[in-house]
A and B are shown apart, each in its own frame.
Chain A
Amino acid sequence: MDQLLNSFNYLFQLLPMLLLFIGVLLGIVVGSIPGLTTTMLITLTLPLTFFMESVNAITLLIGMYVGGISGSQIAATLLRMPGTPASIMTTFDGYPMAQQGKSERALGLGITASFVGGFVSWIFLAALSPPLAKLALTFGPWEYFTMVLMALVMLASLSQGSLVKGLIAACLGMMVHLPGVDPSIGQMRLTFGFESLESGLSLMPVLIGAFAVSQIFKDIINIDAKPPNVNVGRKNMFLSFGDIKKHSLNFVRSSVIGTWVGLLPGIGANIAAMLSYSTAKNSSKEPEKFGTGHEPGVVAAETANNASIGGALIPLITMGIPGSVVDAILIGALIIHNLEPGPLLFSTNPEIAYGVITAYLIGNIIMFGIMMFAVVHIAKVLYVPRAYLLSAILMFCVIGIFAVGNSFFDVWVMMVFGAVGFIMERTKMPLGPFVIGFVLSPIAEAQLRSGLMSTEGSIEPLFTRPFAATFLAISVLSLSWAMYSEWKKSKV
């Protein structure tokens, strides 16, 4: 408790507060522009955080995460173009409400729902993280190996599109991490005779290439798309006590669903919103109204997608396992700052672990304030000319990557992975498993080899240790279920 209060004290200083504010604002702005994603913003900001103190860097990135997921509802509601995949479900009822002249009401509901979702999941984050981190300290290599396996399998199984392509993407991500020094015995491998590969491929060029550069070239293809003009006022945005009461059950249910889905490794905000929306629809007395501009639809989608952030942060700070792609990038940010994500974070760097928890809460409050009072102005960002925006981002990618390693090799790597990401997207191969495979493969390999060394080659602990066996069983079940669903779909 003391450490939580200390963290609040630190966050209320000028610099961290300013960074959090900037992070949330940038997140909202970028999240609101269709085509630019939160993942892209966070990956692009990583090189800049290299020069910051670790706590401040994490505070800035958490602000962007919260702002990005919340900001995406603006374009989803006004233009039926979700700023990020997290707001796809918001388009179903938010856009019809805007068409009926109730855009302010839809945005007000969405913003309040985002805040409530964020707040409820913060309670779970603050309450569950310290005990879970203690429990995770009892985990050995077999538990870690199976947990990483579970994250990879679940992400590949739940990725949109085919299971096989998800698994290929995960394998490719793991293979990309192979060149360089073997993490267990320090032996050089797979450098193909290139000296530059001896230190392996760095995280940032791969991330920025796969997410930012590929996205820019995808956006250039549709550079002529112009959003229609929509007017937004500030009337009717604040909800009355009666409104809150009317939607209270939906708020709580969607927050719990969002937090739970976020907690599961590898599943993002879009799945949380989908699950919460369908639950709200199935439990409603008027399910036929969903999709026609029905308020509970907006509430369910926006509460859950924001709540999933808090849920996803739990495995991140307690075990070093990403709950979503953005979380994988946050793990990368911790690694860049020489911090080890995992249960030891609470004892070795409590300021970071508690910094994440407090920044998430304050970030939500800032998000609510900015969105409620400035959404009218932020909505104008939707009309920024793409030619200027995309060329500036492209230039920034090049300088940003060069700045981190002072090497043009990294810039070439970024361009190669830009092309790889672009091809993967065109062939509907999900990028999520690729990135998580890249981030988690050294952990998986090191833990498996350490486990095998301790048992002299026996894999018996996989079945005899309760947590390892549970994680393995979940992986097998997820894979079997995904294979069964795909087989069933192919029969239709």
Chain B
Amino acid sequence: MKNQVNPKSEIILCVSLIIFSGIVYYFALELPDPEYEPLGSAALPKALSVIMSVLSLIVIFRAIPRIKNYKGEPKINTEVISRPKLSIIIFIITLIFIGVLDFNILGFLPSGILYMTLVGYLMTHRDLKRLPYVVCFSVILTVSSFYIFTKFFYIDLP
């Protein structure tokens, strides 16, 4: 089977991995030399950084010649609309929800209900007819999880 991955994505990922390896290697250099054993704490980080950089370079060199011939991902099911933007939006909303809880801006119950309603509303294609069901579902799920975790598992939710 031919490689159907976007070569540009592969190159970006591998360049990021090389940068990450470089950072790890740099911080590993600061670790003291081994005293009581042959390898020391820095050996594995250094070895992994070098191996990962070499492997990433191989992927980059393989991806470069494919850039010109790449014609996009093959569509398997043309009837289903792919929604990558929705996925990114929900990811960002989830980060905001976690931030709201972490920085104590709102408690778990109100923020959980708001979050679930918003995510449910977006995932049902902003269909207002389905909104009452989404709200009911959000309230029931958030309240029940709150009580299960606080009363049953003794976890202090914010």
Classify the secondary structure of A's interface with B: helix
A171 at the interface (CB under 8 A from B): yes
A186 to B, closest residue via Cβ: B41
User: What residues make up the interface of B, taking CB atoms closer than 8 Å to A?
Assistant: 3-6, 9-10, 13-14, 17, 20-21, 23-24, 27-28, 31-32, 36-39, 41-42, 44-45, 48-49, 51-52, 55-56, 58-59, 62, 77, 80-84, 86-87, 90-91, 94-95, 97-98, 101-102, 108, 112, 115-116, 119-120, 123-124, 134, 137-138, 141-142, 145, 149, 153, 155-157
Identify which of residues 379-435 in chain A touch chain B, using a CB-to-CB cut-off of 8 Å.
385-388, 390-392, 394-396, 398-399, 402-403, 406, 408, 411-412, 415, 418-419, 423, 426-429
User: What residues make up the interface of A, taking CB atoms closer than 8 Å to B?
Assistant: 51, 162, 164-165, 167-168, 171-172, 174-175, 178, 182, 184-185, 187, 189-190, 192, 217-218, 220-225, 385-388, 390-392, 394-396, 398-399, 402-403, 406, 408, 411-412, 415, 418-419, 423, 426-429, 441, 445, 448-449, 452-453, 456-457
Query: How many whole Å from B70's CB to the nearest CB in chain A?
Result: 13
Chain A residues lying within 8 Å of B58, measured Cβ to Cβ, are 164
Q: Are B155 and A222 neighbours in the complex by a CB distance under 8 Å?
A: no
Q: Are A225 and B145 neighbours in the complex by a CB distance under 8 Å?
A: no
Q: Are B157 and A452 neighbours in the complex by a CB distance under 8 Å?
A: no
Given known A-B contacts A185-B36, A224-B81, A398-B94, A388 and B137 have beta carbons under 8 A apart: yes
Given known A-B contacts A168-B55, A172-B17, A190-B24, A452 and B83 have beta carbons under 8 A apart: no
A192 to B, closest residue via Cβ: B27
Q: Which of A162, A164, A222, A457 contacts B38 (CB under 8 A)?
A: A457
Q: Are A415 and B149 neighbours in the complex by a CB distance under 8 Å?
A: no
Q: Are A402 and B155 neighbours in the complex by a CB distance under 8 Å?
A: yes
Query: How many whole Å from B117's CB to the nearest CB in chain A?
Result: 9
Q: Are B10 and A427 neighbours in the complex by a CB distance under 8 Å?
A: yes
Q: Are B37 and A168 neighbours in the complex by a CB distance under 8 Å?
A: no
25 contacts between A and B (CB under 8 A): A171-B51, A174-B44, A178-B45, A187-B31, A190-B28, A217-B91, A220-B83, A220-B86, A221-B87, A222-B82, A222-B83, A386-B123, A387-B124, A388-B134, A391-B120, A392-B116, A394-B94, A398-B97, A399-B149, A402-B155, A412-B98, A415-B98, A428-B4, A453-B37, A457-B38
Q: Are A164 and B101 neighbours in the complex by a CB distance under 8 Å?
A: no
Chain A residues lying within 8 Å of B138, measured Cβ to Cβ, are 391
Q: Are B52 and A387 neighbours in the complex by a CB distance under 8 Å?
A: no
Chain B residues lying within 8 Å of A396, measured Cβ to Cβ, are 145
Q: Are B5 and A428 neighbours in the complex by a CB distance under 8 Å?
A: yes
B63 to A, closest residue via Cβ: A427
Chain A residues lying within 8 Å of B56, measured Cβ to Cβ, are 168
Classify the secondary structure of B's interface with A: helix
Q: Are B13 and A411 neighbours in the complex by a CB distance under 8 Å?
A: no
Chain B residues lying within 8 Å of A220, measured Cβ to Cβ, are 83, 86-87, 90, 123
Given known A-B contacts A221-B82, A390-B123, A391-B120, A411 and B98 have beta carbons under 8 A apart: yes
Complex CA gap A427/B62 in Å reads 14
Complex CA gap A300/B32 in Å reads 56
Given known A-B contacts A168-B52, A408-B102, A395 and B142 have beta carbons under 8 A apart: yes
Given known A-B contacts A51-B153, A452-B38, A224 and B80 have beta carbons under 8 A apart: yes
Given known A-B contacts A408-B98, A453-B37, A217 and B87 have beta carbons under 8 A apart: yes
Q: Are B3 and A189 neighbours in the complex by a CB distance under 8 Å?
A: no
Q: Are A419 and B94 neighbours in the complex by a CB distance under 8 Å?
A: no
Query: How many whole Å from A482's CB to the nearest CB in chain B?
Result: 13
Q: Are A445 and B44 neighbours in the complex by a CB distance under 8 Å?
A: yes
